[in-house]
């Protein structure tokens, strides 16, 4: 047990890859031992976290979207209809070719994404302008034959938790407004996970295959690389023309619809774990923590009154909807601290005979380790207000880290230097040649043009021409 009570339970976060692999296992998020490359298994504790995360997403979307569920299999003839879309995905598709031992007449693709499953049905469902806007989403698994190094929650062959929304609008402008709305929703979603995200408009060569344009959100990981954690695509009427989705406008004319799609995956969980965790384990924002409070009775022999008090506190907290565990096991307090710190429980309450005499408990914060005495009388209020303090403080800490690691750069050498620890922001003339040259010379990617930028005039960092926009450049996952 002494071994388990050592301060650092995990490798230093400086060795991020090692730390990440370890925390997934020791924090019981994902088991990596499933015998197929790129497929991983959610531990029940990890799945509980996933459920809380996706509950937030559902709550945000359900205000004006409807949830649905489409089949996993897409017939080859539908999948092959949109030329650019195929080009973007053909190397990554798994095909079902047989039913038992008989070859299928039409091969079936395991969805890598669901445009070609959903849009043939949209053709049947959309009739008139009264059917618009149509906003549906589903949370499903998708399959992509990744050839790059796979990594749990980040680069997968089975994405287990793809939330994809698909909307249909009367005009291009309405669809553009929906793309902005999607980014606003994602920013709010990530705020609940205490993660600051950076939205930017992807350069043309990095947009979704078949889209007019793509806006994506990135999170900054501890190793200075960025992780794309949400995308929103304006599809124009490209898919509408391919799948013949038209509506009758108010003048009785048949018009093609305009569409968007936007997605978030379990990368949201990867970012949450990576950004907040430390060398003692997970650090959960209270909004999503599977266990929000753990109560540890401090008893040396069976002290019925202490256990009784702990039970009462548990009931009080549960009565206001808090997720509580009372750890009355025989382990020593130190071992219990270790266990629940690894699980990232935001608040620990310690109650012993002396606390009881004062009608109090000792409250310890997982994020800072700070302790304070709180009264048992209004313990639920104390805990709830501590949740909001922790929630804000995690966000602020992450935000400061991002702000500190985004640096304006005036030369390629400066870019090279700064992307080792974070994101470089540079002037770019907007020419594809300069963009590709920039990526090539610094060995990193252009994320895109920040959506919130107040600009500014400068000189393109590659060709020196006048430039009216800055772009983010970073090493990416």
Residue ranges binding Zn ion (CB under 5 A): 429, 434, 460, 462-463
Contacts of 32 (CB under 8 A, 6+ apart): 21, 24, 25, 40, 152
Helix segments in 358-452, DSSP class H:
379-405, 412-418, 432-442
Q: Compare residues 91 and 413 and give the one whose CB is closer to Zn ion.
A: 413
Q: Compare residues 132 and 415 and give the one whose CB is closer to Zn ion.
A: 415
Minimum gap (Å) between residue 428 Cβ and Zn ion: 6
Minimum gap (Å) between residue 411 Cβ and Zn ion: 13
Minimum gap (Å) between residue 72 Cβ and Zn ion: 44
Please spell the DSSP secondary structure of 16-62, one letter per residue.
HHHHHHHHHHHTTSEE---SSTT--EE-HHHHHHHHHHHHHHHHHHT
Which residues, in sequence order, are bridge partners of residue 408? 425
Minimum gap (Å) between residue 420 Cβ and Zn ion: 24
Q: Compare residues 99 and 464 and give the one whose CB is closer to Zn ion.
A: 464
Q: Compare residues 127 and 432 and give the one whose CB is closer to Zn ion.
A: 432
Q: Nearest CA to 450 among 470, 433, 475, 420?
A: 470
Please spell the DSSP secondary structure of 189-235, one letter per residue.
HHHHTT---EEEEPPGGGS-TT-SEEEEEEEE-TTS-EEEEEEEEEE
Q: Compare residues 55 and 413 and give the one whose CB is closer to Zn ion.
A: 413
Q: Nearest CA to 203 among 400, 401, 447?
A: 447
Q: Nearest CA to 290 among 329, 322, 242?
A: 322
Write phi, then psi, for 192 (nearest 5 degrees): -70, -25
Minimum gap (Å) between residue 433 Cβ and Zn ion: 8
Q: Compare residues 268 and 469 and give the one whose CB is closer to Zn ion.
A: 469
Minimum gap (Å) between residue 434 Cβ and Zn ion: 3
Minimum gap (Å) between residue 431 Cβ and Zn ion: 5
Distance CA 234, CA 306 (A): 59
Contacts of 347 (CB under 8 A, 6+ apart): 286, 292, 293, 294, 363, 364, 365, 366, 383, 386, 387, 390
Contacts of 307 (CB under 8 A, 6+ apart): 297, 299, 328
Write phi, then psi, for 235 (nearest 5 degrees): -90, 0
Minimum gap (Å) between residue 203 Cβ and Zn ion: 12
Q: Compare residues 109 and 424 and give the one whose CB is closer to Zn ion.
A: 424
Q: Compare residues 460 and 470 and give the one whose CB is closer to Zn ion.
A: 460
Distance CA 266, CA 428 (A): 32
102 contacts 96 by C-beta, under 8 angstroms: no
Q: Compare residues 299 and 463 and give the one whose CB is closer to Zn ion.
A: 463
Minimum gap (Å) between residue 452 Cβ and Zn ion: 23
Q: Compare residues 156 and 449 and give the one whose CB is closer to Zn ion.
A: 449
Minimum gap (Å) between residue 197 Cβ and Zn ion: 27
Minimum gap (Å) between residue 458 Cβ and Zn ion: 11
Q: Compare residues 335 and 463 and give the one whose CB is closer to Zn ion.
A: 463
Q: Compare residues 210 and 435 and give the one whose CB is closer to Zn ion.
A: 435
Q: How far is CA 291 from the centre of its chain?
A: 20
Is 334 strand, coil or helix?
helix
Contacts of 148 (CB under 8 A, 6+ apart): 155
Distance CA 51, CA 60 (A): 14
Q: Nearest CA to 25 among 276, 273, 284, 290?
A: 273
Minimum gap (Å) between residue 437 Cβ and Zn ion: 8
298 contacts 352 by C-beta, under 8 angstroms: yes
CA-to-CA separations, 118 to 71, 75, 108, 196, 409, in angstroms, rounded: 9, 12, 15, 32, 44
């Amino acid at each position: 047990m002494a071994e388990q009570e050592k301060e650092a339970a995990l490798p230093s976060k400086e060795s991020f890859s090692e730390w990440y692999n370890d925390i997934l296992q020791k924090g019981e998020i994902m088991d990596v031992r499933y015998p197929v490359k790129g497929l991983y298994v959610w531990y029940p504790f990890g799945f509980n976290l996933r459920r809380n995360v996706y509950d937030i997403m559902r709550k945000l979307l359900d205000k004006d979207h409807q949830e649905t569920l489409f089949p996993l299999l897409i017939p080859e003839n539908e999948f092959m209809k949109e030329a650019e879309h195929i080009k973007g995905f053909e190397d990554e598709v798994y095909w079902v070719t047989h039913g038992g031992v008989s070859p299928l007449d039409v091969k079936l693709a395991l969805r890598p994404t669901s445009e070609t499953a959903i849009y043939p049905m949209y053709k049947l469902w959309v009739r008139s302008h009264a059917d618009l806007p149509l906003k549906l989403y589903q949370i499903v698994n998708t399959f992509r034959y990744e050839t790059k190094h796979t990594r749990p929650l980040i680069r997968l062959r089975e994405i287990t938790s793809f939330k994809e929304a698909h909307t249909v609008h009367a005009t291009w402008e309405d669809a553009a407004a929906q793309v902005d709305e999607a980014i606003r929703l994602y920013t709010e979603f990530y705020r609940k996970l205490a993660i600051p995200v950076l939205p930017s408009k992807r350069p043309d060569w990095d947009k979704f295959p078949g889209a007019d344009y793509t806006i994506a959100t990135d999170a900054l990981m501890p190793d200075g690389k960025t992780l794309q954690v949400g995308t929103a695509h304006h599809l124009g009427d490209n898919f509408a023309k391919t799948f013949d989705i038209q509506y009758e406008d108010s003048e009785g004319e048949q018009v093609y619809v305009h569409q968007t799609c936007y997605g978030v995956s379990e990368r949201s969980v990867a970012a949450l774990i990576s950004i907040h965790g430390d060398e003692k384990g997970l650090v959960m924002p209270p909004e999503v923590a599977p266990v929000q409070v753990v109560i540890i009775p401090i008893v040396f022999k069976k002290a019925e009154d202490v256990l009784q008090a702990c039970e009462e506190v548990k009931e009080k907290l549960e009565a206001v909807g808090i997720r509580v565990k009372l750890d009355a096991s025989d382990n020593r307090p130190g071992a219990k601290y270790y266990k629940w710190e690894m699980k990232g429980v935001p608040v620990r309450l310690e109650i012993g005979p002396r606390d009881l005499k004062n009608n109090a408990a000792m409250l310890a914060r997982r994020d800072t380790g700070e302790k304070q005495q709180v009264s048992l009388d209004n313990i639920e209020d104390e805990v709830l207000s501590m949740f909001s303090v922790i929630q804000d403080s995690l966000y602020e800490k992450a935000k400061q880290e991002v702000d500190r690691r985004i640096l304006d750069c005036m030369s390629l050498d400066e870019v090279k230097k700064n992307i080792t620890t974070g994101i470089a922001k540079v002037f770019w003339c907007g020419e594809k040649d300069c963009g590709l040259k920039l990526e090539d010379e610094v060995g990193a990617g252009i994320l895109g043009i920040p959506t919130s930028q107040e600009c500014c005039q400068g000189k393109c960092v590659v060709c020196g021409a006048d430039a009216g926009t800055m772009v983010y450049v970073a090493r990416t996952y």
